[in-house]
Each structure stands twice: as C-alpha cells, then as structure tokens.
Amino acid sequence: MRKLFGVCGLGLIVAMAIVVNSSGNVSAQEFTYTPQFNSKNELMLPRNHIWREWVYSGAIVTPNSLKDGAAPFPEFHSVWGEPGAYAYYKKTGKFPEGTGIAKELGLVGSTEAVSGNGFFMGKLQGFEITIKSKKLYPNEPGNWAYYTFGHHAEPYNKSAKKMPAEACNACHESTAADDFVFTQYYPFLAAAKPK
C-alpha cells in the first residue's frame, strides 16, 4: 500500500490519500468536497466555484416565457455531481454517504443564433446544492438535505439554512427516478449507472 498526492486532471491539486495495492488498483474512492458549516449550522457556499469542475449530469430550461406561475427556479438549470460520488455511482449505481449534487441557475440570454431558434444561456442566476448523509441528516427523507444560496446573480449568499423537507425533498421523493435524484432528466448521469 502506498499513499500519493493525486493531481486532478482539472488542474486542481487535491490532497488525496489514495490506497494503491500491489497491482496498482485504487481501492478507495476519495471525495473532493467536504461540506463546511458555520456556527449557526448553516452550510457555507463551496469556495472557488468548485462545483463547476465537477462531473456534468445534464441541463434543463424552464423559460420565463413558458412559466405557468408555479415554476420555482430561474430558467436554465445545470447539474453536476461531485467527482468522487460520481465515480462511486458509476461503479455501484448507488449514491454514497457524502454525495454532493450541485445546481447552478441561469437566465435565458438569446433566443436566436446561427445554430437556430431556441434558448441560449445568459447570465448566471443562483446556486443550490443537495447533500446525502445519514450522519448529518438522519431524519431527512432518504437522508438528503437541500440548500439554496439565492436565486440571483453573484455574489451568492455565503451560507444557507437547510430547506424544510416540504420545500424540496418532497418533490424529489415523489418524482425523482433514482434515490431522490432526477436522473430521468439528466441523461449523462443516467448513462453512468452500471447496467
């Protein structure tokens, strides 16, 4: 067994204690993100937009022009999984303890471009994250907790209280395809699941 400092392909230097056996196989899956809380038990905004270098799951758009008044999010939603949790999901089909899934919101910019009529991303407009942890959230359905750092342009809120289960978790529990995650709308995450 040997411990190395891994150098991530994203240009980040991540101090990871990786256990490598004599055949060179990596036997532990480390995470690149650990939730940090302030003294009020509010989740701190992840630093340096780290989620933007996580693994993309998919994107959807709910344009203002099509809103029925009930759509709770600004228009474009981009979703990423934390790389360690993604790797675990890819191997096992399960979201492990400590999984982080991030969503950044954005307004529609153009609706016409050389590639056709449609919806093109404009200004970024908010950040949210969900974390699965039996240890941190023993009483949340599925052990998933949801946080929003504001539906507005940057700077995003520096910290966020856990949302009440009825605000986020309830819809995820009743409608999401795979363990509270809307994999039915995120084909790249769905494709990663082992058959």
Footprint on residues 1-40 left by its own copies (CB under 8 A):
4-14, 16, 18, 26, 29-30, 32
Closest separation in Å from C-beta 160 to its own copies: 19
Give first-to-last CA distance, the chain, whole Å. Answer: 31
Q: What number of chain residues touch its own copies (CB under 8 A)?
A: 72
Binding to its own copies, residues 43-62 (CB under 8 A): 49, 52-53, 55-56, 58-62
Binding to its own copies, residues 84-143 (CB under 8 A): 84, 86-88, 90-91, 104, 106, 109-110, 113-124
Q: Kindly state whether residue 163 participates in binding its own copies, applying the rule CB under 8 A.
A: no
In the bound state with its own copies, the residue whose beta carbon lies nearer, of 38 and 71, is 71
Task: Please list, in sequence order, all residues whose beta carbon lies within 8 angstroms of the beta carbon of residue 86, skipping any fewer than 6 positions away.
Answer: 54, 55, 189, 192
Task: Please list, in sequence order, all residues whose beta carbon lies within 8 angstroms of the beta carbon of residue 25, skipping any fewer than 6 positions away.
Answer: none
- What HEC string does 101-115 produce? EEEEEEEECCCEECC
In the bound state with its own copies, the residue whose beta carbon lies nearer, of 123 and 158, is 123
Task: Please list, in sequence order, all residues whose beta carbon lies within 8 angstroms of the beta carbon of residue 105, skipping any fewer than 6 positions away.
Answer: 73, 74, 75, 76, 77, 78, 124, 125, 126, 127, 128, 151
Closest separation in Å from C-beta 188 to its own copies: 5
